[in-house]
Amino acid sequence: MIDGTTISQPLLWVTLTLVAYAAARRLYTRVPVALLHPVVLCTAAVIAVLKLTGTEYAAYMNGGQLISFFLGPSVVALSVPLYLNLQQMRRSAPMLLLVTVFGSLVGIVSAMVPALVLGAPDSLVLALAPKSVTTPIAIGIAEAIGGEASLTATFVVLTGIIGAMLGPLFLRLLGVVHPVAVGLAMGSAAHGLGTARVLEDDRLAGAAGGLGICLCGILTAVFAPLITAGLL
């Protein structure tokens, strides 16, 4: 058996993560169920291997940080769809900005308040605050407000899955059918996973989803420190 405590080479863990992800993605293309999203399966597989080999998370991150390094430039890369979507929706952009200001405030408060009422500890409540935002931004926010980045990453993925599963049906029940409204709502509530779900049927909804991801990410980064300071 491999003794994980002595093997801390980055190569091993990068390879494990990459192979697990590629396998998970192949499975997902055959069985496209939101709960079996590649991130969920891959994360579960990597955790299982680490537990079986008795490897510490810190040892895994010797390799893992080489992968998560790319989250930083990925956020900067979001400026390309943001710029293009803003151009495409130039006339309605000011109004959509107002809507996402409202949406990001609701997003922060609506997760924190139920958790507070149900008696969750402050560390959990802080990690929940940026849950609707795309992961790299959410992790940056969690670090800024003193939440645990790993918990936040998990909550973000779960939020994306919940939004992708329930979102389209819930919006239809509410009578929200305008493709831009549907896309903006899915991107604001459930980031990339939610947007991917509506992008399948409608490109305009996909573009609005991209706008929702970017604007809500920026606005939540602005509001989260203020609101968490006020609530806790």
Does 77 sit near other proteins (CB under 8 A)?
Answer: yes
Segment 166-195, which members bind other proteins (CB under 8 A)? Answer: 166-167, 170-171, 174-178, 180-182, 184-186, 188-190, 192
Residue 45: partners with Cβ closer than 8 Å, 6 or more residues away: 20, 23, 24
3-class DSSP state of 162 = helix
Does 227 sit near other proteins (CB under 8 A)?
Answer: no
Does 147 sit near other proteins (CB under 8 A)?
Answer: no
- Where does residue 55 fall: left (phi above 0), alpha (psi -120 to 50 degrees), or beta otherwise? beta
Distance CA 204, CA 84 (A): 12
x/- mask, other proteins, residues 23-62, rule CB under 8 A, reads: --------------xxx--xx--xx--xx-----x--xx-
Q: How far is the CB of 200 from other proteins (least distance, A)?
A: 16
Tell me the longest C-alpha to C-alpha distance in the chain.
62
DSSP structure string for 110-143:
HHHHHHHHTT--HHHHHHHTTTTS-HHHHHHHHH
Q: Which of 34, 59, 107, 206 binds other proteins (CB under 8 A)?
A: 107
Does 21 sit near other proteins (CB under 8 A)?
Answer: yes
Q: Which of 33, 98, 200, 203 binds other proteins (CB under 8 A)?
A: 98
Segment 202-221, which members bind other proteins (CB under 8 A)? Answer: 212, 214, 217-218, 221
- Token pair for residue 68? 């998560």
Q: How far is the CB of 147 from other proteins (least distance, A)?
A: 11
